[in-house]
């Protein structure tokens, strides 16, 4: 019996992002898995996703991705997350700022036989880049 989609995704965010366990990428992302909506364009397979992970985790070694809530329908699960961390590395092409990030996002994942087959990501990277001082803040009215 394979794990429920929400359990797989909670494990993914906890082990991959919060604990930094790269081995979980290989274990939970199918060989032909596809991730959409992340910097660098669509990524196919664990090795492509691992490169994204290494760059992001290198920039934010204390990154936390906390799952706020999930909604599951069959093999699909929507995950609302909060991302926090401190910009300490230059692996995203930005000199370390020491600034804190705090933004939200949503992933919709298709989980088949206990592994992520496909994921659609919509994270507020605009806010992240504004918090890093790379992009200007948009004035509120």
Task: Tell me what pLDDT residue 1 has.
Answer: 59
pLDDT in tens, 62-105: 999 999 999 999 999 999 999 999 999 999 999 999 999 999 99
pLDDT over threshold 90, residue 60: yes
Q: How far apart are CA 80 and CA 42, in angstroms?
A: 20
CATH 3.40.50.300 fits 5-131, yes or no: no
Percentage of the residues of the chain whose pLDDT score is greater than 70: 99
In angstroms, rounded to a whole number, what is the distance separating the alpha carbons of residues 5 and 82? 19
Distance of alpha carbon 33 from alpha carbon 120, whole angstroms: 11
pLDDT above 80: residue 56: yes
Per-domain boundaries in the chain: 5-131
pLDDT in tens, 20-40: 999 999 999 999 999 999 988
């Amino acid at each position: 019996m394979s794990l429920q989609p929400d359990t797989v995704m909670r494990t993914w965010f906890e082990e991959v992002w919060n604990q930094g366990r790269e081995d979980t990428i290989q274990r939970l992302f199918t060989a032909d898995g596809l991730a959409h909506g992340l910097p660098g364009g669509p990524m196919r397979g664990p090795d492509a996703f691992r490169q994204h992970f290494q760059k992001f985790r290198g920039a934010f070694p204390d990154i936390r991705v906390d799952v706020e809530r999930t909604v599951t329908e069959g093999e699909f699960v929507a995950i609302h997350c909060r991302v926090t961390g401190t910009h300490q590395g230059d692996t995203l092409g930005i000199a370390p700022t020491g600034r804190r990030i705090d933004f939200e996002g949503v992933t919709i994942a298709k989980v088949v036989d206990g592994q992520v087959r496909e994921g659609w990501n919509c994270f507020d990277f605009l806010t992240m880049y504004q918090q890093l001082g790379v992009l200007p803040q948009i004035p509120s009215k």
